[in-house]
Amino acid sequence: MKVLAINSSARTGDVSKTEIVLDYLLQGMREAGADVTVVELRKKKIRCCIGCFTCWTKTPGVCIHKDDMTEEILPKYLASDLVILATPLFHYTVNAMMKTFIERTLPIALPFFEKRDGVTTHPYRHQAPPVAVLSVAGFPEESVFDALKFYVNFLFREQRLAAEIYRTSSEMFTRSSAGKKISDIRDALIQGGRELVSSMKICPETMDRIKKPMTDFEEMAPLGNLMWQTCINEGITMGEAQKKRLIPRPDSIETFLMLMRFSFKGNKAGNTRFTIQFNFSGQVAGECYFTIENGSIKTGSGQSDSPDLIIESPFEVWMDILTRKADGQKMFMEKKYTTQGDISILMRMGAFFGN
Ligand SMILES: Cc1cc2nc3c(=O)[nH]c(=O)nc-3n(C[C@H](O)[C@H](O)[C@H](O)COP(=O)(O)O)c2cc1C
């Protein structure tokens, strides 16, 4: 099977969630024996359709533009057995690069009007290959893809729409993430690729695993908002923040505890059990604690019954240490914060939390 994957993401590598998700799908397709070619639209010169309809009359089937679409991509498109259109969701639909590509497939159609299933259409000049659509979106609800679903089902009604792969909460997706949720989605994408090659479809069970929610608004929004606010305060882009592995700076006890829960790596904690009590002073004053036990973390406000370590600190000092703006040991020597109990916990704690 000859597969052509068209990737319209402007990003690449580890920051492109379109590329990451597409790569897993293509891995499965290659494993199942497909001959896969990937075209990255950001590297190509594709001019906008100017609506001259030259391709419908003067040079039937051939566009007036002599660019990568005419010379390379359209011939590959027509020669493939399956096309994967992979796009980030921008403003609830395909991004501009993908839309430009789609408009430039006009030479495939004939100018004549026909009525099919009660709607006006243009018949195809060539047999067009089946298409699978893949899109990734930042928001957590699947309804974010409703407009795109409607669009592609209408657009490809004459062509076979072999699969629609929609992945929400895309920004939680990383190649290196070992989280259980992500590793199952990755395995399901690889499986989906194999199924596409063997049966030209993805079975409902595999699709449910691919689309499985990773988070919801309640979990995503506070952390996302904290990250955006940190970027604004630091005057850097989200991409720069990711490169620097910037830690979002909590601005309340709730966001501090949320960050601890979010960054906790249960698989690193083993049988470790301890409770740390924080008594914060200063602008954000209050008490809270977290307990690590059986590879999971529990957080609470107020006083814990039996803390192993108590930290008394101005909130801002602890947030400076947390976000690596200050050195924890130096701050301790300078008595910027004080501890009671098993201080060795502090030395070991870093290993249980990721960025
Ligand atoms: C201009 C723009 C518009 C976007 N519109 C939406 C949107 O409507 N809904 C959504 O959930 N995410 C939206 N996003 C987020 C992207 O879909 C998301 O970050 C995706 O992972 C980008 O794919 P990439 O990593 O391959 O660039 C938008 C991002 C940008 C830059």
In this structure, the residue with its CA closest to atom 19 of ligand 1 is 138
CATH (domain of 280): 3.30.1050.10
3-state class of 214 per DSSP? coil
Our mutation pick for probing the ligand 1 site, out of 167, 170, 171, 175, counting the most ligand atoms within 8 A of Cβ, is 170
Dihedral class, residue 298 (left if φ above 0, else alpha if ψ from -120 to 50, else beta): beta
Quick check: 176 pLDDT over 80? no
Residue 95 lies in a domain: yes
Could you give the CA distance from residue 249 to residue 234 in angstroms, rounded to a whole number?
A: 10
- Predicted local distance difference test score (pLDDT) of residue 40: 98
Length of the chain: 355
Last residue in a domain, options 183, 211, 239: 211
Q: Look at residue 191 and tell me whether its pLDDT is greater than 60.
A: yes
In a domain, 218, yes or no: no
Range with the lowest mean pLDDT among 67-81, 255-269, 280-294?
255-269
- Compute how many other C-beta atoms are within 10 angstroms of the C-beta atom of residue 195: 19
> Ligand 1 center to residue 144 CA distance, Å?
11
Mean of the per-residue pLDDT values of the chain: 94
Q: What is the pLDDT of residue 100?
A: 98
* H helix intervals, the chain: 17-31, 68, 74-78, 96-103, 146-155, 180-199, 204-211, 217-234, 238-244, 253-263, 266-269, 315-322, 328-333, 344-349
Taking the CA atoms of residue 231, residue 234, residue 235 and residue 237 in that order, the dihedral angle to the nearest 10 degrees is -40
Average pLDDT over residues 140-156: 97
In the chain, how many domains are there? Answer: 2
205-230 pLDDT, tens digit per residue, is 999 999 999 989 998 899 899 999 99
pLDDT at 66 over 80: yes
End-to-end CA distance of the chain: 41
In the reported structure, the alpha carbon of residue 80 is separated from the centroid of ligand 1 by a whole-number distance in angstroms of 28
Q: Which atom of ligand 1 is nearest to the CA of 173?
A: 21
Closest atom of ligand 1 to 88 CA is 23
Residue 86 pairs in a beta bridge with 7, 134
Look up the pTM and report it. 0.90
159 pLDDT above the threshold of 90: no
Q: If you measure from the C-alpha of residue 313 to the centroid of ligand 1, how many angstroms do you get, rounded to a whole number?
A: 39
| 233 CA to centre of ligand 1 in angstroms | 22
51 and 188 share a domain? yes
pLDDT in the model for residue 355 = 66
Are 269 and 179 part of one and the same domain? no
pLDDT confidence tier of residue 73, bands split at 50, 70 and 90: very high
What atom in ligand 1 is closest to the CA of residue 9?
26
The minimum-distance atom of ligand 1 relative to the CA of 168 is 11
Looking at the structure, do residues 124 and 179 belong to the same domain, yes or no? yes
**% of the chain beyond a pLDDT of 70:** 98
Q: Write the pLDDT tens digit of every residue in 297-326.
A: 999 999 999 999 999 999 999 999 999 999
Whole-angstrom distance, CA of residue 192 vs CA of residue 212: 14
Q: Are 188 and 163 in contact (CB under 8 A)?
A: no
Q: How far is the CA of 172 from the centre of ligand 1 (A)?
A: 13
Tell me how far the alpha carbon of residue 224 lies from the centroid of ligand 1, in angstroms.
14
Residue 89: domain span: 2-211
Q: Which residues face 278 on adjacent strands?
A: 288, 311
Task: Write phi, then psi, for 38 (nearest 5 degrees).
Answer: -110, 130
d(CA 342, CA 306): 12
Please report, for the domain that includes residue 125, its CATH number. 3.40.50.360
